[in-house]
A and B are shown apart, each in its own frame.
Chain A
């Protein structure tokens, strides 16, 4: 076995073509051998007939053999290739007539003529010899007749048959080779189709493969399905775990924060107040991260089983604007919503809410005080929600990476964040069959567009 991976298709094709070649050669050899036998047999039959007619023409008169050779004895040996004819007639061991050296004594009585291929006069000849005992007194006479013929016509016939057999064998091989290519391609097509359908899936699509497959592939598909089930289970477990953990962390954090605020009001010493503020800030960051983790788990979970409803994107956005306006005012930011009437869409309201909230959250976070954050909702050509700010913008070089999980811009070091905001928005867009577009405005500031 070769250690390096080999193509199944090539192996299958080569095996089939090799088999076809072996069969074609076998066919050629069998036909040739068979034809040779048939041709040789027919030549032998004619030689036998010739020998018989010569023997029949012989009589013994007064101890002398008289031989009235029939014209047909040799005329029947006429062939298309004008084969040469030789003969020898022996009485006992003495040559009576014909060619010396064609056959050599002794001759034995036999029930049928004997055939042999011998060299004579520089060529191979087929010779038939038959010995008869002719009644005579005082004792019978042994008469041996040999008739020989060259094999030119036979060779010509054989050549013609060989050429035909070769042509047929070749055609058979070509046909079989073509079929081998087709067979190997069609046999392996289901494998390719499965690979393609799995490859075409989204990164979080772990549904089992349900396509009908040939029985030989079903073990593979079954294993693949069970692997995906386990993977999916372990993924959802970890999501559940994260959500559970985030939730459990958030509640005590809120408690700690309120305690810290109460304490802050009671403490007078500047350095203690400073410490408490840092503490509250850290708590906020943790709380926010936990919130985003929760959001993300939610998006992942709902994204798999999308619940599309008829909703108005403007309504959802205005709710968010309403909720976040206090936060914006605290940061001296102007948060506005722009739209031309309702924008209806079939989408999951909770996911859209999550996505927009995270985008706006990001915008507020990265905006300088006294600047504006604008949400625009448009219906044509497709529903989009655009969030613009006047902050530092996205780092150009990393823009493609930003929507990945826990990826933060290189310029966001001193801002509270988990790096999940854009990921959530992106996941929501993809779950709805849309996408998240990120760009920097020419007037400065970032622009995130949620295409649905």
Chain B
């Protein structure tokens, strides 16, 4: 049933001309109306438990869950603001720009942590640090780096061992990769030195965390930088082969954010979904041990969390982005 529905939806998505949709599935409640259309940057498999938990509590709803890259989401919303009700993305800066540009609808009655919402229209609901994921086998007999500096030293010590075995986001393609890279660059100069080392060792560039973890597991990659550790933790095949390191010098931590489009006809249902996500109930009650960590108020002050503020718009500026990409390219692509 679910397969049939997803087939139809993929076809329908093709008919819409939204070639950038990576996946589309319908999650049905107990034969209910209406259908809430969610556009998300999170893989369906990862997010399905949350959606099922929500539908268990709201059986009178269906969820049409579409997946697209975080950068593509902006284009999709631009092209067809009426096609979706809810947008979930890990690219906080792009989400903030959507809210800033007036695409998001302010929701009343949702009291969240003040640091994890913006204008009552953009709500953070997970707290996920960017991590270094390494292939255990490749570091056999070698010290495991805890900081960026240690990683740089390890790479410089054995350039031939790591040659072509490093991976990171292609920030030109990935919204989340761009957010992590810009926030790293903001925080520390070490980021650029690391990128130069990566560039010297012919680092591979990826669109998404999933592909990087695939290659790590296979042993094609030894080190992946700025990967969402939560993705690696969800993979049963990855558990033994890779180690997830949260750098102890600083760990850029992003929030997965959700917003409700202003054009929605389903405000009540959308508000219920946002309330469920921000409540963190999916992590504690519905899915104990679920890898996406919900926001704990204590974490907000400890971790190097990217805050929802207008400053995020800076790196989205055309000129700023141009300068950043130039610097990034000159470090990595040589």
List chain A positions with a Cβ less than 8 A from chain B: 65-75, 77-78, 81-87, 89, 96-98, 121-123
Contact = CB atoms under 8 A, between A and B. Distances in A.
B319 A78 contact: no
B318 A74 contact: no
Given A74-B313, A97-B317, A98-B317, 13 more contacts: A67-B317, A68-B323, A69-B314, A70-B314, A71-B186, A71-B311, A73-B314, A74-B312, A75-B310, A84-B101, A85-B313, A97-B320, A121-B101
B320 A85 contact: no
Contact of B320 (A67, A86, A121, A123): A67
A94 B65 CA distance: 41
B314 A71 contact: yes
B102 interface: yes
Interface string B290-321: 00000000000000000011111111011110
B148 interface: no
Interface of B: 99-102, 118-120, 186, 308-315, 317-320, 323
Contacts of A81: 119
A68 B310 CA distance: 16
Contacts of A96: 318-319
Contact of A82 (B119, B320, B323): B119
Which of A65, A71, A75, A121 is packed against the most chain B CB atoms within 10 Å? A71
Nearest to A73: B314
Given A82-B119, A85-B100, A122-B102, A75 B319 contact: no
A84 B314 contact: no
Contact of B310 (A66, A78, A89, A122): A78
Nearest to A65: B319
B319 A66 contact: yes
Nearest to A120: B102
Contacts of A97: 317-320
B318 A78 contact: no
Contact of A66 (B100, B102, B323): B323
B130 to A, nearest CB: 18
Contacts of B320: 67-69, 97
26 contacts: A67-B323, A68-B320, A68-B323, A69-B314, A69-B320, A70-B314, A71-B186, A71-B314, A73-B314, A74-B314, A75-B309, A75-B310, A75-B311, A75-B314, A82-B118, A82-B308, A84-B119, A84-B310, A85-B313, A87-B317, A96-B319, A97-B317, A98-B317, A121-B101, A122-B102, A123-B102
A96 B320 CA distance: 11
A84 B100 contact: yes
Contacts of B99: 84
A85 B102 contact: no
Contacts of A72: 311
A59 to B, nearest CB: 11
Contacts of B319: 65-69, 89, 96-97
A360 to B, nearest CB: 101
Q: Which 5 residue pairs across A and B have the least CB separation, nearest first?
A: A75-B311, A67-B319, A85-B310, A82-B119, A97-B318
Contacts of B314: 69-71, 73-75
A114 B317 CA distance: 23
A121 B102 CA distance: 7
Given A69-B320, A71-B186, A78 B102 contact: no
Contacts of B118: 82
B102 A84 contact: yes
Nearest to B308: A82
B248 to A, nearest CB: 24
Which of A69, A75, A87, A121 is packed against the most chain B CB atoms within 10 Å? A69
Contacts of B312: 74
A258 B9 CA distance: 150
A78 B101 contact: no
Nearest to A80: B114
B81 to A, nearest CB: 14
A414 B246 CA distance: 135
A81 B323 CA distance: 31
Contacts of A86: 100
A49 B75 CA distance: 32
Contacts of B310: 74-75, 77-78, 83-85
Contacts of A67: 317, 319-320, 323
Contacts of B318: 96-97
A65 B320 CA distance: 11
Nearest to B118: A82
Contacts of A122: 102
Nearest to A152: B119
A89 B63 CA distance: 41
Contacts of A78: 309-311
Which of B101, B102, B186, B317 is packed against the most chain A CB atoms within 10 Å? B317
Given A66-B319, A82-B119, A74 B311 contact: yes
Nearest to A95: B318
A85 B99 CA distance: 10
A96 B186 CA distance: 24
Contacts of B102: 84, 121-123
B262 to A, nearest CB: 10
A84 B309 CA distance: 10
Nearest to B309: A78
Contacts of A74: 309-314
A412 to B, nearest CB: 97
A254 to B, nearest CB: 113
Nearest to A85: B310
Nearest to A79: B310
A282 B320 CA distance: 135
A123 B310 CA distance: 17
A450 B99 CA distance: 103
A279 B315 CA distance: 137
A71 B185 CA distance: 11
A328 B102 CA distance: 122
B271 to A, nearest CB: 18
A197 B55 CA distance: 89
Contacts of A77: 310
Nearest to A122: B102
Contacts of B120: 82
Nearest to A149: B310
Contacts of B323: 66-68
A211 to B, nearest CB: 70
Contacts of A123: 102
Nearest to A84: B100
Contacts of B100: 84-86
A225 to B, nearest CB: 76
B93 to A, nearest CB: 11
